[in-house]
């Protein structure tokens, strides 16, 4: 089941649960984002992680709103499979996240086009890849559709 456009629009507002609640419910997502995005060299490196963590929390809320219950806990292996699928789609033909979750794909494209803080092109790509993987993983745990 697609996350509907009304759900995406409604939850794009800052009424999503606190980061602590999200981290407790989805620790593998937080670790995944830390592994991919949490820089250690300077504060600017952490901007990508912060943007992605807030967006992941919002995405989780969108799935919860659409399905009426919080998504089951995502596992690290699901996120890694999802990341491989996202990278594979960029390199070859595939239906992609836009077909599987079109409203979320549009929301993600908007976020990447105008992030709340400036990101480099490399950071934008990394955030986009990580968030697309999270969408795939959350889609799998809520609908049962396997990650492509």
Span 34-59, mean pLDDT? Answer: 83
The rounded distance, in Å, linking the Cα atoms of 79 and 137 is: 6
Share of the chain above pLDDT 90, in %: 68
pLDDT over 70, % of the chain? 83
Which pLDDT does position 45 carry in this prediction?
A: 63
- Who contacts 52 (Cβ-Cβ below 8 Å, separation ≥6)? 33, 36, 37, 127, 130, 131
What's the pLDDT tens digit per position in 123-138? 999 999 999 999 999 9
- What mean pLDDT is reported for the chain? 87
């Amino acid at each position: 089941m697609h996350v509907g456009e009304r759900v995406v629009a409604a939850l794009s507002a800052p009424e999503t649960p606190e980061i602590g609640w999200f981290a407790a419910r989805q620790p593998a997502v937080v670790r995944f984002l830390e592994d991919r995005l949490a820089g250690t060299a300077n504060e600017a490196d952490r901007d990508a992680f912060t943007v992605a963590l807030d967006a992941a929390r919002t995405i989780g809320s969108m799935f919860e709103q659409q399905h009426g219950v919080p998504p089951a806990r995502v596992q690290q292996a699901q996120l890694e499979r999802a990341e491989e699928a996202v990278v594979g789609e960029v390199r070859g033909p595939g239906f992609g996240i836009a077909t599987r979750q079109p409203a979320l794909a549009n929301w993600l494209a908007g976020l990447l086009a105008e992030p709340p803080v400036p990101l480099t092109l490399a950071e934008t790509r990394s955030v986009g890849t990580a968030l697309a993987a999270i969408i795939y993983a959350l889609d799998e745990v809520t609908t049962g559709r396997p990650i492509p």
